Amino acid sequence: MHGKLKSVDDAVALIKDNATVAFTGSGGGLLESDYIMAAIATRYRETGHPRNLTLIHALGIGDGKGSGLGRLAIPGLIKRIIGGHWSWSSELQKMARNNEIEAYCLPTGIIMTLYRESGAGRPGVISSVGLGTFVDPLISGGKCNDITCENIVSRIELDGKTWLHYKPFKVDVAVIHGSQADAVANISTSEEPADLDTYAVALAAHNNGGMVIAQVKSTTPAHFVPARKVTVPGVMIDHIVECPAQRQSYLAEYDPAISGQVAPPVEHPLDAPAEGIRRLISGLAVRELKPNMRVNYGFGIPGGISAMAEKSLVDSCWQMVEQGIHNGQLLDGALFGAAKYPQAIVSSLDQFDLFCGGGLDITFLGMGEMDAEGNVNVSQLGDTIVGPGGFIDITCGAKKVVFCGTFEAKGLQVCQQGEQLQIESHGANS
């Protein structure tokens, strides 16, 4: 690997103060470089460096219990975060809420596209995605607390239309995750649940003169990775960190069904329908599903909709999620974004191009709050930053949007008695 293989301590020692560091990964441990994040935190505690970092992440990274980006929630280590989804790190949510760090929320698809456009030397992203939302500079420009002042989104006029211009990133360090590295430092993600934005994150750093650090489960001295299984070519990789204990997700060391390595059995168990109010909402939502639709499901209640449909109806539709998965047995909860027996896996960036360009007939999405005019909030609940994830990108392009929720954000208590649902106590509606 031409001297690129390094210990994790040596690799993170190369990250300088004030650097902008971009991470790939998705909640539940998907493509998460937790080994490297833990080492960054340890080095900062021991040496006080690196400090004042700007972190960028398109999807949520962590387990909600301190792993992933939550490890970096140390005063002085982070100056700013630009994130698409924050709920997997309550520690960083708290720092943003307390004005300890600058905090921005941008749509996940926009962040991923900015990686590519920044790496390609283009002047950011011009898009209608985000107009009229909190990302619009007429509202907050994606700023999420009182100490966040710099404008990173602007309104422009082009060909008689109003657009948002998202400024390009200057990424100094990319931290990516793969299954294996070969003798020329090619990185494969063939045993992972998804590819996510791995290539785009690496491109953003490499073409900015920055460095790319790849965490992998194994390395081989041979030129072993078949060309069609290479996600990032070795020419873009600066340092490789081997982590034999690396897991496919927080819930499994490795499941070949989740990485699409095995075909589904002729008969395999269907997902069990949700219970209680989730079952009721899913049962109502599934009425909107028609044969041969191109369908997206969001996180939360929508994850149980397909289990309420007839198998023939589900089989006739083409199901997709933003992590790049096509069809298969879509997983929910901590493994949302993965699937067992997927039929295709593309990059998240390509998936968002499909979504934003009108490639969805229908999307089912959760909601935090909705007002009388139909305005929906998922990005900040009370004083807690959640982030939109792919919500804004997806709703801008889908032909039909179905929101699924209880209208009661917290504290709702229900019980099920046979086929009847009884509300024991109402929750808050905001």
Domain range list for the chain: 5-242, 276-424
pLDDT digits (tens, 9 = 90+) for 144-172: 999 999 999 999 999 999 999 999 999 99
Whole-number Å distance between alpha carbons of 22 and 9: 18
pLDDT score of 415: 66
Name the fold adopted by 5-242. Glutaconate Coenzyme A-transferase (3.40.1080)
Nearest of 78, 77, 68 to residue 37 by alpha carbon: 68
Whole-number Å distance between alpha carbons of 72 and 82: 14
When the pLDDT of each residue in the chain is averaged and rounded to a whole number, the result is: 93
More confident residue, 126 or 63: 126
Q: Is the pLDDT confidence value at 396 over 80?
A: yes
Nearest of 354, 360, 365 to residue 294 by alpha carbon: 360
| Same CATH fold assignment for domains 5-242 and 276-424 | yes
CATH of domain 276-424: 3.40.1080.10
pLDDT digits (tens, 9 = 90+) for 187-219: 999 999 999 999 999 999 999 999 999 999 999
Catalytic residue among 322, 373, 419, 424: 322
pLDDT digits (tens, 9 = 90+) for 246-290: 999 998 899 999 999 999 987 766 666 666 677 888 888 999 999
pLDDT digits (tens, 9 = 90+) for 350-387: 999 999 999 999 999 998 888 888 899 999 888 899 99
User: Within 13 Å and on the Cβ side, how many CA atoms surround 154?
Assistant: 9
Q: Record the tokens describing residue 342, joined without a space.
A: 């997927």
Contact between residue 114 and residue 166 where contact means Cβ atoms under 8 Å apart: yes
Contact between residue 27 and residue 336 where contact means Cβ atoms under 8 Å apart: yes
Q: Is the pLDDT confidence value at 78 over 60?
A: yes
Q: Residue 409: is it exposed, middle or buried by C-beta count within 10 angstroms (0-12/13-18/19+)?
A: middle
pTM of the entire predicted model: 0.94
Q: Is the pLDDT confidence value at 429 over 60?
A: no
Question: DSSP state, 274?
Answer: P
How many other β-carbons are positioned within 10 Å of the β-carbon of residue 278?
A: 20
Alpha carbon 380 to chain centroid, angstroms:
17
Q: Which whole number is the average pLDDT over 377-398?
A: 93
Give me the residues paired with residue 78 across strands: 53
| Cα–Cα separations (whole angstroms), residue 174 to 15, 48, 178, 302, 422 | 10, 21, 13, 32, 50
pLDDT digits (tens, 9 = 90+) for 53-70: 999 999 999 998 889 999
pLDDT digits (tens, 9 = 90+) for 27-53: 999 999 999 999 999 999 999 999 999
pLDDT score of 399: 98
pLDDT score of 368: 85
Say whether 117 is catalytic. no
